[in-house]
Structure 1
Amino acid sequence: MNNVLSTEPTFLLGGDFPVNRLGFGAMRTPGPGLWGPPADRPAMLALLRRVVELGVTFIDTADMYGPFVSEELLAEALHPYAAGVVIGTKGGCVRFAPGVDGVLLDGTPQHLHDALTGSLRRLKLERIDLYQLHRIDPRVPSERTFAFLADAQRQGLVRHLGLSEVSVDDIKLAQQHFPVVSVQNRYSLFDRAAEPVLTYCREQGIAFIPWFPIGGGQVQETELVQQVAARHQVSVRQLALSWLLHHAPNILPIPGTTSIAHLEENMRAASVQLTAQDMQDLETLR
């Protein structure tokens, strides 16, 4: 049971974009509360450039981060984008104030049209490789929202489409309108409520992109987790990321940070090789 397990380093996103599975989440690039610019703009631009230097080829952002700040920073730091780098962004949420309470959902075709147009302009792209619906708006019939996204894809404004914070039934409904290539739900070693969604995505060949992949920074340093991390001489954060890479081949973790030191620590998690015994031990956390 102590045999070392191998993990696939890449995933074919949408069937045509090979990306390194350990990506980067740009949610924390704006100021506190996801509001306004970062306190140190040059430092944030340097961090984003370091992301690509470390081999990251999938970066996740959204128009509500700032709002708009994250997309603008990515373009300033990285445009023209290196070959093979995929910038995925999201629309459907409107940020009007800092913090978790300063957000409204808007899944109307008019808002999504404006959101998509704005993202294209800020990212300096003619087509977004991965555009995800940030949340399903319960006030708008899902069919209207999905029909708009399918039409945007037909027009060539987006290459691939994904969803965020959805159920298996939501995915199946969206699949009646367009191929769903990614799903972004909250999930980590310490929070596995989305396991049924992950299972469905794996069966369908859909990328599963866990947000808060390290538990939102609130890692549970139980004795068991510390023991497994100690076996490999890694941090609990690195262990949590490595577990995701080993748990399912379609998982694309996107840890975010404002620190280059933490970024480099996170990226080293891709080289941690867990054993079957490690995985069995960590399964008891479920």
Structure 2
Amino acid sequence: MSATITIAPTSAYPLTVNRLGYGTMRLTGPEIWGEPANRPEALQILRTAVELGVNFIDTADYYGEDVTNRLIREALYPYSSDLVICTKVGATRRPDKSWVPFNRPENLRQSIENNLRTLGQEQVQLVHLRLMGQGPVPLEEQLGAMFDMQREGKILHVGLSNVTREQLEAGLALGPIATVENMYSYAQRTSVFSAHGDNPGGEEVLDLCEQHQIPLIPFFSLIHGLPKAGNKIAEIAQKHNATEAQINLAWLLHRSPVILPIPGTSSLAHLRENLQAADIKLSEEDMAYLA
């Protein structure tokens, strides 16, 4: 099991990061809105993650809104040279906390400019275009705007989020797709309906990612499905003296070399626990039992 993964390995600007990242969404207030309940701890989580070797951080300007970007800048700026900050565009939040598409070319440009400003960057290293269902803006138009900003130097690499296999295939036909961020975990491997809409899972696109050396970045990997996972994951957890959440992360790391988990938490203790999952070695027998 490799400890690192390379984003866009065949490009002129590959990015190699350690294979556990950190997702910042849980640093916000309730319903992914507003400031964290414990701001000092949120800042310390970010600093500790980097101190413990995390060099891939996932964020979005619609977390909060703008809360996680501002926390990242306050905690980590000036950024270390090996830190990759990945953000998302294509959605926004209304005052009623609903999630809505924000994916017209002018919207995407506005989001990128906002991310650059709040993160204090001249270029975003990796941006996921989050697809919000079958809206009126064609994928070609959305990705076209992203590739335009990539040519302008505002974006280094373009990824896709919340995509089906067919959408990923369509995206690859339009230009280089560096990464995919989809819902995926041991207990949630295929599409699931959530409050945010129909979320494609990871299994539908994993083999395509492997074919094209595209890292698959699973989100919500610790939230959905573990209580329904049955006894198998609990048995393996007991065998390795680990938690079920740690086994879920270890399973992701062993499942495929292209998977880059980004477990999120608002607890410093849970951050340390999550990162310890990288040290768990699942045997072939373990993985076969968990299949």
TM-score class, shorter-chain normalisation, is over 0.9
What residue is the counterpart of 1:79 in the other structure? 77
Matching residue within 242, 247, 250 for 1:242: 250
Is 1:163 aligned to 2:160, yes or no?
A: yes
> Residue 280 and residue 217 in structure 1: after superposition, are their counterparts in 2 closer, same or farther (change >3 A)?
closer
* Distance of 1:18 and 1:106 partners within structure 2: 30
**Conservation of the 8 A alpha-carbon contact between 1:211 and 1:254:** yes
Using the size of structure 2 for normalisation, the TM-score is 0.91
Residue segments in structure 2 that go unaligned for 5+ positions in a row: 191-201
Using the size of structure 1 for normalisation, the TM-score is 0.93
Amino acid at match of 2:287: M
> Residue 176 and residue 268 in structure 1: after superposition, are their counterparts in 2 closer, same or farther (change >3 A)?
same
- Aligned-pair CA distance for 1:136: 4.3
- Aligned-pair CA distance for 1:217: 7.5
* Distance of 1:221 and 1:204 partners within structure 2: 30
Amino acid at match of 1:96: R
* Distance of 2:183 and 2:2 partners within structure 1: 22
Matching residue within 8, 13, 29 for 1:14: 8
Residue segments in structure 1 that go unaligned for 5+ positions in a row: 1-6
For residues 153-192 of structure 1, the aligned pairs below 5 Å read 153-192=150-189
**Conservation of the 8 A alpha-carbon contact between 2:100 and 2:132:** no
**Conservation of the 8 A alpha-carbon contact between 1:187 and 1:215:** no
- Aligned-pair CA distance for 1:276: 0.6
Partner SS state of residue 161, structure 1? strand
Instruction: Give deviations 1:58-91, integer Å, cap 9, x for gaps.
Output: 1111111001111111111111111211000001
- Of 40-49 and 151-160, the range deviating more from structure 2: 40-49
- Aligned-pair CA distance for 1:219: 3.9
Q: How many pairs are equivalent?
A: 275
**Conservation of the 8 A alpha-carbon contact between 2:188 and 2:225:** no
Is 1:257 aligned to 2:265, yes or no?
A: yes
**Conservation of the 8 A alpha-carbon contact between 1:26 and 1:256:** yes
Identity of aligned residues (%): 40
> Residue 61 and residue 267 in structure 1: after superposition, are their counterparts in 2 closer, same or farther (change >3 A)?
same
Amino acid at match of 1:12: T
Amino acid at match of 2:91: C
> Residue 217 and residue 169 in structure 1: after superposition, are their counterparts in 2 closer, same or farther (change >3 A)?
closer
